[in-house]
Amino acid sequence: MRRRDFLRAMGFGAAAFAAPRWAFPAGGTPPRRPRNILFILADDLGWGDVSCYGATPGLTPFLDDYAKGGVRFTDAHSPASTCTPTRYAIFTGQYAWRKPGTGIAPGDSALLIDTDIATLPKLMKQSGMVTGAVGKWHLGMGPGPGKTDWNKPIKPSGNDVGFDYTFLMAATADRTPCVYVENGLVVGLDPNDPIEVNYRHNYPGEPDGKRDRASLKMDWDFGHNQAVVNGIGRIGYMKGGKKARWVDEEMADVFVEKACAFMEANKDRPFFLYLGTNDIHVPRVPHPRFVGKTPFGPRGDVTVQFDDSVRRVIEKLRELGLEQDTLVVITSDNGPMVNDGYKDQAVERLGDHKPSGDWRGHKYQPYEGGHRLPFIVRWDGAIPAGTNDALVSLVDLGATFAALRGVPVPQAALPDSFDQSATFLDPSAPSARTSLICQDYRLNLREGDWKYIVPGPAGNAPGPKNDPLNGELYDLSADPSERNNVIKQHPDRAKAMYATLLKAIRDGRTRP
């Protein structure tokens, strides 16, 4: 099946490939600049979880309707098939595999982003915006394991890489510390109950996910059996901070309320807001008003919860009268994962639902299901609705937002971020890039419809000692589901693509 036929079969009709042209000035300058940018990043939301991308009807009713007024990209990708490296790439404009230690970060990781480099939020500040980050961070904060004191102002943090305001989950919902950090301070901390965190051993007298398994309100399947917070086993240990600990069922509401409060407080000035939701990441513990809303168990219910969170944030934008002044981007950090360590019936109740759609693979994997994303861009009054099959990566957001706001990007900054502003503004415009690199524990390269996956295990730095013909090669135009490895039929192409990867590593950048 050809790729276009495949996309049509998934719900993208002829309009996906015949979107009306829109007059974009030859000089590349938009007719007006977005006053505000709202960037919503879901966690583990798959292509197939969003109904307007061909998923099970009913999971994302608001997002489906909202997408009708925007642009649905069909070939958008995360720079990695896991969380930390994707977020690192978004905010730095640099592929995470270029910097050692940017794999999945532990909850007590040091800040991974160098505070002296240009970043997406710094460029937004330079353009005159007030910048905010609400929700999941997972890029480390403080000096690192055994050094970060969670009872004092935490530095460096998100406020040191360009955000004026931060309200963050330090890592993930399944990792300690299970507290919110606002502008570098743990929220609600009782100084008489100090927090301690480590990833080596439990503290005397603290509950343990293995020993106290029978008391858990959500059982673990693997890995999530250390500290117990809110009746749920986590990765890592902590003690203290009882009043500051989050309640999982309330997390989505807390993030929405903080995001809406930021927009309210800054309605009279340009703002950039990053909202990183926890949904659909584990542990999947929806608010009671969403429990049982789907036949798919907690995973389906938190998908509906995510959709409702988007609805509430967009409605606040409309209430403030800012919709025509705001560019909105909604996407995910990587592909979906069904069983990710808890016994939440995600597998048993999956039924016919396919979170990755018809793409092969899922989170952690190099195949399309691991990094091809739902990606919706909307700016009322400026961008006509349509569908675009241009090749886009989330690493491009830095250069793209900078261009839309009229901020020049220094040559040494954002080394892998391409300016996709014309692509965003015109649904029929081509991509600014002809290739991209994604990572799991290996790297893979897209060039046109060809995709090459390096031999594994090869780490994040393929070298000349590896035989490129031990990798995988797919022609996505003929084989979008990546079932037929044609590397033996096209050895020269595989070698050339492998050489391109080596060059990208050696050059230290891909942006011209």
DSSP state letter for 186: E
Domain membership of residue 13 (yes or no) is no
Q: Are strands 185-186 and 180-182 parallel, antiparallel or unpaired?
A: antiparallel
Q: 265 and 395: one domain? A: yes
Helix or strand or coil: residue 505?
helix
Name the H helices within 74-161. 83-92, 120-126
Domain membership of residue 340 (yes or no) is yes
412 in Cβ contact with 451 (< 8 Å): no
206 in Cβ contact with 233 (< 8 Å): no
In sequence order, the β-bridge partners of residue 443 are 439
Q: What is the mean pLDDT of residues 156-185?
A: 97
Kindly give the interhelix angle for 251-265 and 298-319, rounded to the nearest 10 degrees: 10
The span from the CA of 67 to the CA of 388, in Å, is: 12
The Cβ-side half-sphere exposure at 133, using a 13 Å CA radius, reads 28
Count the domains in the chain.
2
Domain membership of residue 392 (yes or no) is yes
Predicted TM-score (pTM) of the model is 0.94
Share of the chain above pLDDT 70, in %: 92
Q: What is the mean pLDDT of residues 389-400?
A: 98
CA proximity to 334, closest of 302, 300, 286, 367: 367
Confidence tier at 54 by pLDDT (50, 70, 90): confident
Q: What is the mean pLDDT of residues 363-377?
A: 97
Q: 301 and 350: one domain? A: yes
Domain membership of residue 476 (yes or no) is yes
CA proximity to 43, closest of 280, 269, 220, 243: 280
- Using the Cα atoms of residue 77, residue 434, residue 423 and residue 130 in order, give the sign of their dihedral: positive
- 182 vs 132, 187, 249, CA distance in Å? 11, 6, 20
Q: 376 and 474: one domain? A: no
We report the CATH number of the domain holding residue 474 as 3.30.1120.10
The residue written with tokens 């290739």 in the block is: 435
Domain membership of residue 209 (yes or no) is no
Mark 302-327 as b/e (b = at least 16 C-beta within 10 Å): bbbbbbbbbbbbbebbeebebbebbb
The span from the CA of 228 to the CA of 207, in Å, is: 6
201 in Cβ contact with 237 (< 8 Å): yes
420-432 tens-digit pLDDT: 999 999 888 899 9
The span from the CA of 56 to the CA of 43, in Å, is: 19
Domain membership of residue 215 (yes or no) is no
CA proximity to 93, closest of 419, 502, 507, 442: 419
The span from the CA of 13 to the CA of 22, in Å, is: 20
Helix or strand or coil: residue 382?
coil
Residue 159: which residues within 8 A CB-CB, separation 6 or more?
165, 166, 183, 184
123-161 tens-digit pLDDT: 999 999 999 999 999 999 999 999 999 999 999 999 999
Would you call 257 exposed, middle or buried from its count of C-beta atoms within 10 A (0-12, 13-18, 19+)?
middle
Catalogue the E-assigned strands of 123-172.
130-136, 165-169
Indicate whether 104 pLDDT > 80.
Answer: yes
Please list the helix, strand and coil fractions of the chain in percent, rounded to the nearest 5, in that order. 25, 20, 55
Q: 314 and 461: one domain? A: no
The number of residues in the chain equals 512
Listing DSSP states for 263-325 in one string gives HHHTTTS-EEEEEE--TTSSS----GGGTTSSTTTHHHHHHHHHHHHHHHHHHHHHHTT-GGG
Q: 69 and 165: one domain? A: yes
We report the CATH number of the domain holding residue 107 as 3.40.720.10
190-249 tens-digit pLDDT: 999 999 999 999 999 999 999 999 999 999 999 999 999 999 999 999 999 999 999 999
**Last residue within a domain, chosen from 378, 400, 432:** 432
The whole domain housing 74 covers 34-189+245-432
Question: Which helix (DSSP H) or strand (DSSP E) does residue 506 occupy?
Answer: helix 491-507
Helix or strand or coil: residue 66?
helix
Q: What angle do CA 275, 332, 403 make, to 5 degrees?
A: 70
Q: What is the pLDDT of residue 462?
A: 61
Q: What is the pLDDT of residue 23?
A: 36
CA proximity to 406, closest of 23, 31, 21, 26: 31
Q: What is the mean pLDDT of residues 392-408?
A: 98
**Last residue within a domain, chosen from 376, 409, 432:** 432
Domain membership of residue 166 (yes or no) is yes
The residue written with tokens 């998908």 in the block is: 303
Q: What is the pLDDT of residue 455?
A: 87
Higher pLDDT, 2 or 471: 471
- Chain-wide mean pLDDT for the chain? 92
**Last residue within a domain, chosen from 406, 432, 458:** 432
